C-alpha cells in the first residue's frame, strides 16, 4: 500500500503521544489531549506536515517551536497558532531564505545517496535501517537547484518560563533552556514524565559550534533541568539523529561532557553535516561539536 505522506514517518509512542518524523532530518512530536493538541516543532517545511498531523487528530493544534532554527519551524506556515520563546518570536517572523533551503536540500540529497551506497552492506551486516528509519527521497518537485524560500507562519505568541499549556487531561510545562541557542525551550509532560528537549539534548552530534551556542548557559540549563525535574523524568525526547528517546541520565552526562570540553577534553578534527571543519569531542552516547581552532 502506498504511504499517504512518504516523506514522513509517524508512530504512536504512548497514549496521546505521537512521533511525526522526517527520518534522518528531524523528530517532531504531537501530544494530544481531550481539548487540543500541541505539535512540538514543525520540521524542515519541505513537505506539508499538517497532512500526517491531521490524520492523527482533528482537534485544534497549537505549534510550539523548541527554537527558531530552520529545521524546527519550516512547517509553521501550515498551522494557525504558534508559540515560542520570546527571543524566537522575531526570528520566526522571517522566511527561511532560498539559499539556506537549497543548502539543506543539497545535504539531504547527499545523505540519501550515502544511504543508497550503504544499503547493501547494512542489509548484510548491520541491520541499522528499517522501513521506518530509512532516509526518504525528497518529495516530488523539491530539488536543491530550484529551492524556494520557506514562508514564515503566523506570528508566534511568547511563552514564559513556567507557563503551563493545558491540553485537556494532560499539560505541558514550559522550561526555558538557553544554550544550544538563546531561544531554546523544553516542554515537560508531567503525566508520562516526558521531557521534549528540541536540540538541548542529542544522541548523535551535539551542535555546539555555531554562533548561537553559549556553553556556560548550556551547562546552567542542563543542570537546572536535572535538578528541578529530578526523579520526574522517565524519558527525554530529542529532535535529531539516532533515537527520538533517551534516558534522563543524558541531562547530567551532557552537562558533564560540555564542562569537560572546556577543561581540556581533546576533540578530533572532523566536519559537520554541511562539511564545515569542527572538533568532534566523543563521549559514550553522543559527540559534542566545537569550532575548529
Stretch that binds Zn ion, among 24-32, 46-54, 74-82, 194-202 (CB under 5 A): 194-202
Neighbours of 142 (CB within 10 A): 18
In this complex, which beta carbon is closest to Zn ion, that of residue 174 or of residue 289?
289
- From residue 196, give the alpha-carbon distance in Å to each of 19, 28, 68: 11, 9, 15
The C-alpha cell that represents 162 in the structure block? 513556567
Place of cell 502506498: 2
Residue 25 in contact with Zn ion, rule: CB under 5 A? no
* Smaller CB separation from Zn ion, 69 or 209: 69
Taking the mean position of all CA atoms in its chain, how far away is CA 288? 16
123, exposed or middle or buried, with CB in 10 Å at 0-12, 13-18, 19+?
exposed
Q: Does 73 bind Zn ion (CB under 5 A)?
A: no
Whichever of 53 and 185 has its CB closer to Zn ion, that residue is 185
Q: Quick check: 199 binds Zn ion (CB under 5 A)?
A: yes
Q: How far apart are CA 262 and CA 63, in angstroms?
A: 35
Bridge partner list, 271: 277
Closest approach, Cβ 207 to Zn ion, in A, equals 6
Rounded least distance, CB 191 to Zn ion, Å:
27
Binder among 25, 69, 85, 281 for Zn ion (CB under 5 A): 69
Site for Zn ion in 92-151 (CB under 5 A): none
Quick one: which segment of 89-97, 165-173, 196-204, 265-273 binds Zn ion (CB under 5 A)?
196-204
Return the biggest CA–CA distance within the chain.
Answer: 54
Give me the residues that bind Zn ion (CB under 5 A), please.
69, 199
Amino acid at each position: 500500500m502506498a504511504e499517504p505522506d512518504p516523506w514522513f514517518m509517524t508512530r504512536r509512542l504512548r497514549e496521546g503521544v505521537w512521533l511525526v518524523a522526517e527520518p534522518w532530518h528531524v523528530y517532531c512530536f504531537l501530544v494530544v489531549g481531550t481539548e487540543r493538541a500541541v505539535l512540538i516543532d514543525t520540521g524542515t517545511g519541505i513537505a506539508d506536515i499538517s497532512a500526517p498531523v491531521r490524520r492523527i487528530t482533528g482537534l485544534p493544534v497549537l505549534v510550539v517551536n523548541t527554537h527558531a532554527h530552520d529545521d524546527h519551524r519550516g512547517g509553521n506556515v501550515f498551522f494557525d497558532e504558534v508559540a515560542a520563546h520570546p527571543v524566537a518570536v522575531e526570528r520566526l517572523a522571517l522566511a527561511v531564505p532560498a539559499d539556506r533551503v537549497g543548502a539543506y536540500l543539497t545535504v539531504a540529497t547527499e545523505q540519501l545517496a550515502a544511504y543508497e551506497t550503504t544499503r547493501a552492506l547494512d542489509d548484510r551486516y548491520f541491520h541499522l535501517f528499517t522501513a521506518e528509519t530509512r532516509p526518504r527521497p525528497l518529495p516530488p518537485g523539491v530539488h536543491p537547484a530550484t529551492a524556494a524560500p520557506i514562508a514564515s507562519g503566523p506570528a508566534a505568541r511568547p511563552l514564559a518560563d513556567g507557563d503551563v499549556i493545558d491540553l485537556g487531561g494532560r499539560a505541558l510545562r514550559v522550561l526555558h533552556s538557553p544554550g544550544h541557542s538563546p531561544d531554546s525551550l523544553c516542554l515537560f509532560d508531567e503525566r508520562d514524565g516526558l521531557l521534549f528537549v528540541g536540540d538541548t539534548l542529542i544522541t548523535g552530534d551535539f551542535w555546539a559550534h555555531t554562533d548561537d551556542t553559549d556553553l556556560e548557559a548550556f551547562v546552567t540549563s542542563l543542570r537546572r533541568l536535572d535538578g528541578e525535574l529530578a526523579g520526574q523524568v522517565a524519558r527525554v525526547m530529542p529532535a535529531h539523529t539516532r533515537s527520538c528517546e533517551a534516558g534522563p541520565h543524558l541531562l547530567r552526562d551532557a552537562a558533564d561532557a560540555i564542562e569537560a570540553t572546556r577543561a581540556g577534553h581533546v576533540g578530533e578534527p572532523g566536519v559537520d553535516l554541511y562539511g564545515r571543519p569542527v572538533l568532534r569531542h566523543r563521549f559514550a552516547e553522543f559527540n559534542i561539536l566545537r569550532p575548529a581552532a
